[in-house]
Structure 1
């Protein structure tokens, strides 16, 4: 079985944005604390006004805390992102870069590709995946969407096709900043409208806000 990847590069400039890189590094440096949860919670919000309200409430908690300067730093970064006309792409880039760096640390891949089609022998995936990587012990593909509303059956099916075409060599993941309850509801709606999905959609591992840091 020959596996290769065809990169698309559509998200490259957003993934390399200094604000995204800095914000992800802050998350990873505080990966089991309130700072991580608060940053993820802010990025998941729908608009700038909601973010401002969120930070106004957080400021009272952080003002007397030793990490107030860190709070001020990531608040400025996030507000800058939400004031950018490309905020939707930047939010997606945050989740993709954060997910990639978590997985890279866990799996130490010998090959990886982002924003790519997966090619297995003469077969090519219909859609791109955000992350593909292979290590000595595992191989995986991920699709990242900030809200679960962006997931469709075609996205799940693309991941399942990769898994099946590779004879289960790839584990496949759907990653979101929404809560598990929202992901469960999304899968139920897909099951109701697409009978083909029943019994197979759960083969895609769903990583939600609650278990993002360890991809459990």
Structure 2
């Protein structure tokens, strides 16, 4: 972001430049704070964009992606009902596009999610390469951009097992801990996985 008296194109940007030149915020410059943040995000986003396709092949259907929403247009009429259009930036700045069912629970601009997707198409829009995907994973898993992938994978598996509980009634969490003490996430998922696999084996042998 390079806004100075010399580069300002109007009175508003001049006032932003004055606010940026100070090392403090007062009553007069407080209204410009949101615009300063907005300009910074715009400049950062432009620097991080990478005009390349995702490296996976079309048809790959088990690709885990961590994506940040840069654009969202909800409520579009699609063949199967209302859909939301999402444009994402992946971890290295590539553009990814997704149409998903409008469920009122989707992420908003600025949020980061992790999902499993199938690659459907690679094309260009206004000179920018973009990869269109179909979401395979259930629901929306919001993540902190700095959260390790291994921990996100555990959370994703926990969500699947909890869904299995709601549908099949096959969940029993760790029970051998002092009352009120919560198990570590990894231990919790391992125990849930064991219960899940045991129930599957019992059903198969029945």
> Fold-level match, TM-score > 0.5?
no
Instruction: Give the number of the structure whose alpha-carbon radius of gyration is greater.
Output: 2
Higher-helix-fraction structure: 1
Higher-strand-fraction structure: 2
